Amino acid sequence: MKVSEAIRNRRSVRAFLDKPVDRKQIMQLLDTARWSPSGSNTQPWQVAVLMGERKNRLQQRLEASYRKGVPNQQDYIYYPLEWLDPYQARRKECGLQLYSALNIKREDTQRRMVQWIANYHSFDAPVVLLFFMDKVMQTGSYLDYGMFLQSLMLAAVEQGLATCAQAALCDYSDVIREFLGYDDDKVLVCGMALGYEDPAAAINDYRTPRAQPLDFTRFFD
């Protein structure tokens, strides 16, 4: 598979088959992603891999935190505090596509809540990856981490696996750190669902659009 094909084929999958991913496969993905670039070769990534009962227990704890109304505990601000276009319009379109694929109406608050809780279960993927970084690292390391995550997701496409990068898991970073035994000096950057895509699931039918190159590029001759 060409790199350009992997980039175009990668997408966020939110329904997975009940099919395990071999630990050897996961290590192959990480062995590829470790060659990602980072400023001064700092390699800030620290990865936790959850499967089986340990994964299920954490997911139950995350759902319980949400249902109890535990305040969010993100380690950093992911989204803007004030939404402006075109970002606001793109965000709305993304949400509309997701809920339309599931035929969930705006007024159906119960089904919307159920779908949101699915985030904390990583959409029942057999593997959940959690990505940590030392708190001492600064903004540049987040850029490095983005390249590492992209490398990992593209390597997954090459192996016939599907992923969904998840900021929602950061909602309860304190809960996750306590459960896994990580110290407070570790930042939870994001999570990722990993497994085999369920091709029959309606939620996997849509694809979000992208702006054209000339919409975000200026040439200076």
- Stretches where the chain sits below pLDDT 70 are none
158 to 9, 50, 60, 97, 197: CA distances (angstroms): 10, 22, 31, 26, 13
Predicted local distance difference test score (pLDDT) of residue 57? 98
Distance CA 10, CA 149 (A): 12
Element (H, E) at 195: strand 186-195
Which amino acid, residue 201? A
23 to 145, 161, 179: CA distances (angstroms): 22, 13, 22
| Residue 12: other Cβ atoms inside 10 A | 19
Predicted local distance difference test score (pLDDT) of residue 106? 87
Predicted local distance difference test score (pLDDT) of residue 161? 98
Distance CA 211, CA 93 (A): 13
For residue 161, what are the contacts with CB-CB under 8 A and spacing of at least 6? 21, 25, 29, 194, 195, 196
Distance CA 126, CA 60 (A): 15
| Residue 130: other Cβ atoms inside 10 A | 24
Would you state the torsion angle of the CA atoms of residues 84, 88, 90, 96, taken in this order, to the nearest 10 degrees? Answer: -170
Pairing of strands 162-166, 186-195: antiparallel
pTM: 0.95
Distance CA 190, CA 128 (A): 11
Distance CA 175, CA 73 (A): 9
pLDDT in tens, 102-154: 999 989 999 999 999 999 999 999 999 999 999 999 999 999 999 999 999 99
